[in-house]
């Protein structure tokens, strides 16, 4: 057949879906099979880590072409994805202006405003008229400013004096001076601000771009709202993975290798497993009681899991509320009071269900004999205690962890469950001892 070769070629869309599962050789083949226009779009749409991998794999003479396609802030992400040794070689491929910009951006932490911003913002002078400003921005539009829809007014020391939207310029009388109608109280962010805080501020201020300034108040770049969508998505993914009791992955699920995946998951599981061993130690101390009333052992999973579940709820709620800035460290007392009461109410509801279950089973099958009321009391009181404690501990643990300077999302559901399991065993058997009067 004449078109046997072309039948083998994947479209950009097919290649995109197959990408994570392909070997680098197959990726290169697929990429080279795309027509030029599609290849451009395909390359620009790849995540930075994949762009970096692909660039390293490409023949050296093809690299410059692709590198120069990237905007400086995207180029920075790619460089950060390269092995240390490859970076200088890669920077040399850039034109001198971009190289300077990229090198400057590389000095910032990846997850700070400085690492997120583009240095190519549009600027106007305060004494320009609206008409002059529009003409000036028109020129900047050709020279690759990230967005011309916001123009910043800077003084000679590059300090931010105001901002005008392109729309303001269009609707203003052509001969009015920029400083007559520019917005002066501009919200800006320091270049060291964490990207999560940048995202929160942008959502709260409802703007499409935020200027970034250095320690001396000089404007360095802008963060635009489309960068922030990625940040919000990525931070939520990291939090969710941590909440599941593991380290956050660096790549999509199906694109993460088997060994890398194992490493991210085994560490936390091992820590939890070792901690959970304390339940065995705690229960060993009650072996005598168990021997006397084996039925006690039967309710252990029920009791401790009720604490774990209510604790998971509480910690998850508080962690998310903290990530959204709804709950701060100063709110700890309010959260504690609230969750104590909630935990108590939830405990009473679950205890009631548990007590009914025991009496019903006794009625139907005679499962528990004459000590049924005492057993029911033990289970009921324990559930109230364990759920109240689990909810309380689950809600305060993220706040405590944040206060110690760590990420509150580490107070994952499995972490809280493990913590509560150990104390749950102690609460349960101590209650049993008191109520059943064993030993």
Over the window 63 to 102, marking each residue x when it contacts a copy of itself by CB under 8 A and - when it does not, the resulting string is: ----------------------------------------
DSSP state of 438: -
Contacts of 408 (CB under 8 A, 6+ apart): 318, 319, 322, 323, 398, 399, 401, 402
Please report how close the Cβ of residue 90 comes to a copy of itself at its closest, in angstroms. 23
Binding a copy of itself by CB under 8 A: which of 118, 306, 362, 378?
A: 306
Q: Which of residues 370-399 bind a copy of itself (CB under 8 A)?
A: 387
152, two tokens: 């910043």
Give CA–CA dist 394/336, Å, rounded.
10
> 339 vs 174, 213, 303, 304, 318, CA distance in Å?
59, 41, 19, 18, 10
> What's the Rg (C-alpha) of the chain?
30
Shortest separation between residue 92's beta carbon and a copy of itself, angstroms: 27
Tell me the window of 1-9, 27-35, 154-162, 335-343 that interacts with a copy of itself (CB under 8 A): 335-343
SS (HEC) of 273-323 = HHHHHHHHHHHHCCHHHHHHCCHHHHCHHHHHHHHHHHHHHHHHHHHHHHH
Would strands 209-213 and 189-190 be described as parallel, antiparallel, or unpaired? parallel
- Taking the complex as a whole, the smallest distance from the CB of residue 85 to a copy of itself amounts, in Å, to 30
Which residue in the set 133, 153, 163, 317 belongs to the binding site for a copy of itself (CB under 8 A)?
317
Crossing angle of helices 72-81 and 96-106, in 10° steps, is 60
What tokens appear for 364 in the block? 């139907």
**Candidate list 24, 173, 324, 329; residue touching a copy of itself; CB under 8 A:** 324
> Binding residue for a copy of itself (CB under 8 A) from 117, 413, 427, 432?
413
Query: Under rule CB under 8 A, which residues in 218-247 are in contact with a copy of itself?
Result: 225-226, 228-230, 232-233, 236-237, 239-241, 243-246
Binds a copy of itself (CB under 8 A): choice among 97, 270, 329, 434 = 270
CB of 41 to a copy of itself, least distance (A): 10
Exactly one of 300, 355, 375, 381 binds a copy of itself (CB under 8 A); that residue is: 300
33 sits near a copy of itself (criterion: CB under 8 A): no
**Does 425 interact with a copy of itself (rule: CB under 8 A)?**
yes
Quick one: 24 or 291, whose CB is closer to a copy of itself? 291
Could you say whether residue 144 binds a copy of itself (CB under 8 A)?
Answer: no
Which of 104, 302, 332, 374 contacts a copy of itself by CB under 8 A? 302
Q: Is 44 in the site for a copy of itself (CB under 8 A)?
A: yes
CB 305, CB 383: distance < 8 Å: no
Figure out which of the listed residues 24, 57, 107, 277 binds a copy of itself, where binding follows CB under 8 A: 277
DSSP assignment of 34-88 equals S-HHHHHHHHHHS-HHHHHHHHHHS-HHHHHHHHTTS-HHHHHHHHHHS-GGGHH
Residues 345-374 that bind a copy of itself (CB under 8 A): 345-346, 349-350, 353-354, 357, 367
Least CB distance to a copy of itself at residue 142 (A)? 5
Interface positions, 194-213, toward a copy of itself (CB under 8 A):
199, 202-204, 206, 208
Binding mask 148-187 for a copy of itself (x = CB under 8 A): xx----------------xx--xx----------------
Helices (H) and strands (E) in the chain, counts: 22, 6
Query: By C-beta, is 51 or 91 nearer to a copy of itself?
Result: 51
Judged on CB neighbours under 10 Å (0-12, 13-18, 19+), 340 is: middle
User: Which of 195, 309, 378, 431 is the binder for a copy of itself (CB under 8 A)?
Assistant: 309
Cα dihedral sign, 53-55-56-58: positive
| Residue 358 tokens, joined | 């025991």
């Amino acid at each position: 057949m004449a078109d046997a070769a072309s039948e083998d070629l994947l479209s950009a869309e097919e290649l995109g879906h197959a990408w994570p599962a392909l070997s680098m050789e197959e990726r290169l083949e697929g990429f080279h099979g795309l027509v030029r226009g599609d290849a451009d779009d395909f390359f620009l749409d790849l995540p930075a880590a994949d762009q970096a991998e692909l660039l390293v794999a490409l023949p050296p003479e093809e690299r410059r072409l692709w590198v120069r396609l990237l905007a400086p802030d995207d180029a920075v992400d790619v460089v950060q994805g390269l092995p240390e040794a490859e970076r200088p070689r890669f920077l040399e491929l850039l034109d001198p202006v971009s190289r300077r910009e990229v090198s400057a951006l590389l000095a910032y932490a990846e997850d700070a405003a400085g690492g997120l911003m583009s240095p190519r913002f549009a600027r106007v002078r305060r004494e320009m008229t609206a008409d002059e400003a529009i003409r000036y921005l028109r020129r900047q539009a050709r020279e690759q400013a990230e967005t011309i829809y916001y123009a910043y007014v800077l003084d000679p020391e590059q300090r931010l004096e105001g901002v005008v939207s392109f729309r303001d310029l269009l609707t203003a009388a052509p001969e009015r001076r920029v400083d007559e109608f520019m917005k002066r109280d501009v919200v800006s962010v320091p270049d060291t601000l964490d990207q999560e805080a940048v995202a929160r501020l942008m959502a709260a201020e409802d703007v499409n771009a935020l200027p970034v300034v250095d320690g001396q108040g000089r404007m360095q770049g802008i963060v635009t709202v489309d960068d922030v969508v990625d940040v919000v998505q990525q931070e939520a993914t990291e939090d969710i993975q941590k909440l599941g009791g593991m380290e956050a992955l660096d790549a999509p699920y199906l694109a993460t290798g088997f060994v890398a995946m194992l490493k991210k998951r085994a560490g936390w599981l091992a820590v939890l497993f070792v901690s959970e061993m304390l339940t065995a130690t705690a229960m060993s101390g009650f072996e005598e009681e168990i021997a006397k009333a084996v039925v006690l052992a039967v309710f252990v999973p029920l009791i401790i899991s009720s604490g774990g579940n209510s604790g998971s709820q509480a910690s998850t709620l508080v962690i998310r509320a903290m990530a959204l800035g709804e709950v701060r460290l100063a709110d700890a007392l309010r959260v504690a009071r609230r969750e104590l009461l909630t935990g108590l109410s939830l405990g009473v509801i679950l205890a009631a269900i548990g007590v009914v279950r025991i009496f019903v089973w006794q009625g139907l099958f005679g499962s528990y004999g004459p000590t049924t009321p005492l057993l029911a009391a033990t289970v009921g009181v324990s559930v109230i205690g364990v759920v109240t404690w689990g909810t309380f501990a689950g809600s305060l643990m993220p706040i405590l962890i944040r206060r110690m300077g760590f990420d509150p999302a580490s107070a994952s559901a499995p972490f809280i469950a493990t913590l509560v399991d150990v104390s749950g065993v102690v609460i349960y058997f101590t209650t049993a001892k008191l109520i059943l009067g064993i030993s």
